[in-house]
């Protein structure tokens, strides 16, 4: 089969260089960082030093102006370390949050914020979800009220990736409580971590992805300059929906990479582990399970590569990326489930990498728009929309 267009020779050589970097500067520390439940700043700075954060960013702001393929490789290879939270943290920064700053911040703010995003001195997060509002984002309750040259923010956000480590957060807030439709009252505002009234309340204990922090945040009469508003007032929901395509694409990339590396582990264990005088993979039930998963992994790769190529070509991938996000993240979970089973008791032991894979991939069907929300979007494209929202 022809190679996808985004995988150029340069992008493939970049993969080799990036793997070498990971082996030398990241892999030796992964167990320590996982146990500490935090990716330390030294990781971000090392990534930044080598140009691996926001590689697509304009060189004027410290990036390399690299094609999208480079971001795909970074996401895949971080996931292939077997510590998937690492990929989540970097994607939230490089591929999800910083694009809002580039597209929507004023020139002065860009000059202030962006160079640090490339070096790792400024780590970013995005705050949409609240304790009472997740999928139905238009109903968010955090408010920002304009007073003179400032926005005064009040409210709470939860489940925020990089929430503790970040220096800057793009916050979705309600700026017009009286808007005729709830989503029209939403705006995006940047809050820097040292702003009085911004309280990083606590790091949440998660099922998996321990290596990266997820936090609960409070905003109590938190004042930021009016220049911290991103784009136009009341357009925040529209900006979020437009950018979620890229976010869902990156989760699809992460899910596929996870499925591939977990399948490899399952296959190699199935060939080596012996029971009743044979390898456990030679029992037909196990072999068929692994054949089914291998088929899905292959199908996933083909579909994903075609969606990436369409994205790079500037096509609207809204429908296909919703399909990719739900199907690939569910598929990665099926692979992880079977991988644990094929490992028997060892698969349930935390010291075995498949045990971590199993809990790490579990978040993928939930975040970036849950898989049910993906199906809701797709149902509408099939003329099966409900009457809600
Ligand atoms: C590890 C992790 C990291 C995260 N990082 C971030 C982050 O950085 N920033 C951020 O803002 N958020 C983040 N989130 C939050 C995540 O985006 C939300 O959890 C997700 O959108 C679901 O919202 P909810 O948890 O409120 O679930 P709810 O909206 O309460 O939904 C509960 C269940 O009902 C289903 N459901 C809801 N509505 C429908 C419907 N109409 N039809 C069918 N089923 C429906 C959902 O799919 C889900 O299964 C993160 C979450 C996790 C787990």
- pLDDT score recorded for residue 280: 98
- pLDDT score recorded for residue 182: 86
Q: For the chain, what is the radius of gyration of the CA atoms? A: 21
Given pLDDT bands bounded at 50, 70 and 90, which one contains residue 385? Answer: confident
Q: How far apart are CA 356 and CA 232, in angstroms?
A: 42
How far does residue 365's CA lie from ligand 1's centre (Å)? Answer: 9
| Nearest alpha-carbon partner for 359 in 290, 262, 291 | 262
- Measured in residues, the chain has a length of 389
Position in ligand 1 atom list of the atom nearest CA 386: 41
Q: How far apart are CA 202 and CA 215, in angstroms?
A: 6
247 flagged as catalytic: yes
How far does residue 134's CA lie from ligand 1's centre (Å)? Answer: 5
Q: What pTM does this model have?
A: 0.97
Stretch 301-313: mean pLDDT: 98
**Cβ-proximal residues to 46 (8 Å cutoff; 6+ apart), any chain:** 21, 25, 26, 120
Averaged pLDDT of the chain: 97
Q: Concatenated DSSP letters for 280-344?
A: GGGSHHHHHHHHHHHHHHHHHHHHHHHHHHHHHTT---HHHHHHHHHHHHHHHHHHHHHHHHHTG
Max distance between CA atoms of the chain, in angstroms, equals 79
Per-residue pLDDT tens digits for 182-237: 889 999 999 999 999 999 999 999 999 999 999 999 999 999 999 999 999 999 99
Among candidate residues 247, 260, 292, 296, the one labeled active-site is 247
Per-residue pLDDT tens digits for 67-111: 999 999 999 999 999 999 999 999 999 999 999 999 999 999 999
**Percent of the residues in the chain that have a pLDDT greater than 70, as a whole number:** 99
In this structure, the residue with its CA closest to atom 9 of ligand 1 is 160
134 lines ligand 1 (CB under 6 A): yes
Given pLDDT bands bounded at 50, 70 and 90, which one contains residue 388? Answer: low
Per-residue pLDDT tens digits for 2-27: 899 999 999 999 999 999 999 999 99
CA distances from 244 to 77, 148, 300, 350 (A): 22, 32, 20, 33
| Nearest alpha-carbon partner for 164 in 125, 131, 209 | 125
Residue 80 phi, psi (nearest 5)? -70, -10
Q: How far apart are CA 208 and CA 110, in angstroms?
A: 34
In this structure, the residue with its CA closest to atom 38 of ligand 1 is 135
156 lines ligand 1 (CB under 6 A): no
- pLDDT score recorded for residue 174: 98
**Percent of the residues in the chain that have a pLDDT greater than 90, as a whole number:** 96
Given pLDDT bands bounded at 50, 70 and 90, which one contains residue 387? Answer: low
Per-residue pLDDT tens digits for 284-296: 999 999 999 999 9
Given pLDDT bands bounded at 50, 70 and 90, which one contains residue 253? Answer: very high
Q: How far apart are CA 124 and CA 94, in angstroms?
A: 8
How far does residue 252's CA lie from ligand 1's centre (Å)? Answer: 16
Nearest 10 degrees: CA dihedral of 254, 255, 260, 262?
Answer: 110
Q: How far apart are CA 94 and CA 161, in angstroms?
A: 13
10 lines ligand 1 (CB under 6 A): no
């Amino acid at each position: 089969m022809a190679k996808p267009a985004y995988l150029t020779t340069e992008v493939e050589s970049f993969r080799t260089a990036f793997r070498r970097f990971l082996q030398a500067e990241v892999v030796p520390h992964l167990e320590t960082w996982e146990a500490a439940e935090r990716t330390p700043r030294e990781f971000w700075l090392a990534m930044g030093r080598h140009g691996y954060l926001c590689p697509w960013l304009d060189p004027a702001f410290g990036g390399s102006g690299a094609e999208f393929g480079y971001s795909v490789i970074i996401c895949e290879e971080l996931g292939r370390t077997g510590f998937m939270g690492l990929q989540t943290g970097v994607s939230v920064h490089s591929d999800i949050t910083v694009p809002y700053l580039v597209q929507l911040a004023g020139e002065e703010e860009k000059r202030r914020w962006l160079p640090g995003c490339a070096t790792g001195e400024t780590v970013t997060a995005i705050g949409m979800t609240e304790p009472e509002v997740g999928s139905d984002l238009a109903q968010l309750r955090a408010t920002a009220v304009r007073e003179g040259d400032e926005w005064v923010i009040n409210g709470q956000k939860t489940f925020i990736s990089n929430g503790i480590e970040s220096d800057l957060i793009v916050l979705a807030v309600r700026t017009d409580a009286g808007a005729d439709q709830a989503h029209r009252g939403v705006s995006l505002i940047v809050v820097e971590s040292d702003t009085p009234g911004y309280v990083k309340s606590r790091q949440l204990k998660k099922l998996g992805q321990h290596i990266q922090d997820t936090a609960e945040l409070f905003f109590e009469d938190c004042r930021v300059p009016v220049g911290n508003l991103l784009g136009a007032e009341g357009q925040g929901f529209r900006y979020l929906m437009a950018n979620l395509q890229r976010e869902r694409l990156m989760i699809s990339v992460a899910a596929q990479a996870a499925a591939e590396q977990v399948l490899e582990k399952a296959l190699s264990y199935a060939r080596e582990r012996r029971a009743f005088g044979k390898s456990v993979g030679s029992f037909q039930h196990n072999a068929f399970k692994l054949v089914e998963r291998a088929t899905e992994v292959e199908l996933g790769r083909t579909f994903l590569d075609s969606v990436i190529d369409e994205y790079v070509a500037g096509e609207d991938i809204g429908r296909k990326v919703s399909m990719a996000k739900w199907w690939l993240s569910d598929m990665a979970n099926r692979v992880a489930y079977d991988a644990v089973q094929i490992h028997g008791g060892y698969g349930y032991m935390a010291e075995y990498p498949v045990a971590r894979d199993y809990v790490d991939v579990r978040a993928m069907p939930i975040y970036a728009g849950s898989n049910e929300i993906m199906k809701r979007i797709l149902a509408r494209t099939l003329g099966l929309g409900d009457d809600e929202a």
